[in-house]
Amino acid sequence: MSKIPKQPKKEQKIKKRYRTDENFAYRSVIISAILGGIFYLISLLLNFGIITNFIDQGVIWDFIDVLFKVLAILLFFLFMITSLGNYKELIGKPVNWKELLLILGFSIGQTILNIWVFIFTLFGLLIILIYLYLAQGI
């Protein structure tokens, strides 16, 4: 009979579950960061003016152009904040306000070439922040 006492099954289960959660969190960090990167590239192409095919073809196309630009920035913010949140959770720290402000600032910074993109992005970011605040509170 072995002298080393076996780990109780419950403890093993908890450890296994912790590892699964850890893997899930790490996967979330990676996937969210990649998606954030993709939307950063899309935002770079649209907001930096590398792709300008939508503009000057009428009001509807202007609106679609602004919509795509705003969506790219908002999704960049959303995925990057998710990735950062999970990353911080893995190292056992919460996201502090400086990091949040940094991502927020760079998201708004991408809009400086177009006033409409700036306004709509600001509005969208405000909604996301309120949502995140409420979700954290709940």
Partner 1 sequence: MNNTESRRITKINGFTILKKKIFRVLICIIVMNTFIISSFFVPNVYGLQEEIDSEFGESPIIDGYIDFSSNEWNEATKVPIELGDLPISLWVMQDEINLYISIQFELEGYAHKDTEFVGMIISNSSSIIPEEFLDVKIVQFSNKTSNDFIFLDYNINNSEFLNDTKQNGMGAAKIEGIDSTYEFSIPINEVGGDENMQDVLLEYGNMYAFNITYGETPVYPGGIKKSEIVLITIKNLSITEPPLWDLVFFILNIIIFSILGILYGFYIYKIFKLKEKIERIKR
User: Interaction with partner 1 in 79-138: which residues (CB under 8 A)?
Assistant: 83-84, 87, 90-91, 102, 106, 109-110, 112-113
**Rounded CA separation 88/58 (Å):** 45
User: Interaction with partner 1 in 29-88: which residues (CB under 8 A)?
Assistant: 29-30, 33, 36-37, 40, 44, 47-48, 52-53, 55-58, 83-84, 87
- Cβ proximity to partner 1: between 94 and 109 the closer is 109
Q: How far is the CB of 134 from partner 1 (least distance, A)?
A: 26
- Cβ proximity to partner 1: between 26 and 63 the closer is 26
Q: How far is the CB of 44 from partner 1 (least distance, A)?
A: 6
Q: Kindly write down the DSSP assignment for every residue of the chain, as one continuous string.
A: --SSPPPPHHHHHHHHHHHHHHHHHHHHHHHHHHHHHHHHHHHHHHHTTS--SSTTS-HHHHHHHHHHHHHHHHHHHHHHHHHHHHHHHHTT-PPPHHHHHHHHHHHHHTTTT-HHHHHHHHHHHHHHHHHHHHHHH-
Residues within the interface to partner 1 (CB under 8 A)? 22, 26, 29-30, 33, 36-37, 40, 44, 47-48, 52-53, 55-58, 83-84, 87, 90-91, 102, 106, 109-110, 112-113
